[in-house]
Structure 1
């Protein structure tokens, strides 16, 4: 990671400068409703290569491209399958990424050589203004080192990537706090490839039953499919029942869903004192960033209820814990 500091600009007044950086091949970290993205001109292969370098991201892991408006999808890819169009019409702007066929204008590096591409329209006014001002689709994975905690604040980006980013647009904390849901709706039944901020139940209200197919035995067809991902620098352990603080020695932190744990923990973060899963998702990465900075030897985490967006939260926690198995 570079020890230099990127330019940090207010998300509103910094749009024009940031758009100019994108048009000239630079990297811009910007807020979306999910997490902060690390953006480059999706039509510029050299600029996109800088994303992989900055994140130390393996070349086999494809990126999501972001559009300013749902109408831009047809302009980019041509004919859109009816089921894809219906989901875009219902959920865009929003935390839903859709799989479409990659048009020739998009270089293969964006999709890691796949014939398909992932695309969405973010539900954040600053993000859409930036993309519109740049005048190009913006390839943007999360603005962090590969496999580490996703950033939900500008300071997370600065600490994690430093001068590898040209400009960071500071729009404050993100609203959803976890990444978008990824869906391939080109076939007979929609397939969820990554759980995210849009719950499966909301999708099924529009599409009927969906198939959830997480992970991959070969090259990932969507980001976030690796078994080990989303991890803090501190070892993380997921538990299913009460965990007494005295059970193990050392300095230990605890990430709780609703209730503070008993015992004398070094640091504790509670995702939602009221048991609200939307709040828990929004706080997830921010809370893990805070625990990661306390210097504890281990972070102990309890799962949240496995319903709605809680499924996506638990998915992140399982993948983070797998890093330390």
Structure 2
């Protein structure tokens, strides 16, 4: 079978309706459909001349049968996989949106593999799912330590947003906001106002972020020589958890300053203090973490740590794509530092 002429192939391109099929590629290349399938799937026993004709026809028709063909033609999938917790919580969901936008700006598509909280080995399973679908690199945006380190059995770049995870192969980097430094900053703000010590409403300690924030709180107290109050039971990031913690704290009138591991728990604590007749910041100062959109419109407006999710996502994607494309990149970029939005929920103690 002889190859179709350029005129014939252009006419075929104009006549086709919808996406071209494998039969169209076979007709333009002058080969059988089985041969096209062999080339697309990278099978052996195809001559170099035939392979070139099939690839040329695929390019001409813009045939996209599957991921294997795309990778074969372009050398890359131009697709990045993201592993993250399936949750609507503000931090993970906001970072996920920022990652997707950064990838789109860079001309890469986005494929997501979600995990479930409390599912041991969920990260490893999500990574394996992405590898099976075909990706050029992976962003580990998973906020929970599930106890099973992922084994990435492909030589592709990996960037971890948060705690570092060692992949089995390929280049890797960690890009994150420094949660320890941010928690120190929040605690130091309260100590600097003159509070004798600061109580902490923690998040769940299987989350990297919750552990960082508790660590930063402890470090700030130790550096200032302030007594360390007992750590309250783990919260679950919800206003209900903050409300329960706030009710316990409200019974101790010596408590004048509280740092909550996120804004939602801070909001719950504010409600508990109001119910107990405690004024904020007159009797208790409160600091949150995340700077959710509602934080500036509470009564009183909440002092909180502001995370720049867009900056973290932009840097993570830039580092990963540099590794994918073989361009120079910082080996281990420095952690991004958050800022403190000081509002009316904090003041000097009476």
TM tier, smaller: under 0.3
Decide which structure has the larger Cα Rg and report it: 2
**Which gives a bigger RCO, structure 1 or 2 (Cα 8 Å, sep 6+)?**
1
Q: Normalized per residue, which structure has more strand?
A: 1
State TM-score, norm by structure 1: 0.25
| Structure that is richer in helix per residue | 2
